[in-house]
Amino acid sequence: MEIRFQTPYQFLFIHQNVKHLLLLWKKENTKQLYIVEEENTSLVLRYPGETYVEMILDQVEPVFFQELETEEATFSVALGATFSFQDKLIGMYYAPDNPSEQLYFFEIQEDKIVEISDEDYPVIVQHFIKEFPDYIANEA
C-alpha cells in the first residue's frame, strides 16, 4: 500500500516494530503522533495516549530530521524506520521530497547518527529488506 501526502508535514515511520504517523502543525508549533494499524484494506489511526507519545518523541525526535552532506550537495532526510541489528539501533532515512529515490542507513547512538562501516552497510541493507519487505515493495 503506497501512501502519499499533499503537504510536507506528515511522516509515516516504523519504530519498535510499530507503524507511526507524525503530524507537524507549523503554525501552532504542535506535534501529534498516532499508531497506524492496518484493518483489511484500510489504515486506522489510533491515538496511543500522552505518555506513549512523549516516550516515543523523546526517543526519535533528536534524530528524526537530519542534514546529509555528499560531495555534490547537502539535503534533508527524515527517519523512516528504526530496527535492531547486532545489538545496535539502526535508522533508515529517506528524502521526504522523493521518498522512493534512495534510502540511507545510519547507526543511532543516543541523540546522534553515526556512519556505518562499508563492510556492515550491505549486510544491514539486506537485513532491512528481510525485516521490512512491505516497505521495499511499496518503494519499488
CA distances from 10 to 26, 33, 53, 80 (A): 11, 10, 16, 12
Domain spans of the chain?
10-139
Containing H/E element for 57?
helix 50-64
Cell 556505518 -> residue:
116
Query: Whole-angstrom Cα distance, residue 117 to residue 9?
Result: 32
What pLDDT digit, counting tens, does each position of 61-99 carry? 999 999 999 888 899 999 999 999 999 999 999 988 776
Residue 136 — pLDDT band, cuts 50, 70, 90? low
Q: What does residue 131 show for φ and ψ, rounded to 5 degrees?
A: -75, -30
Residue 29, pLDDT score = 83
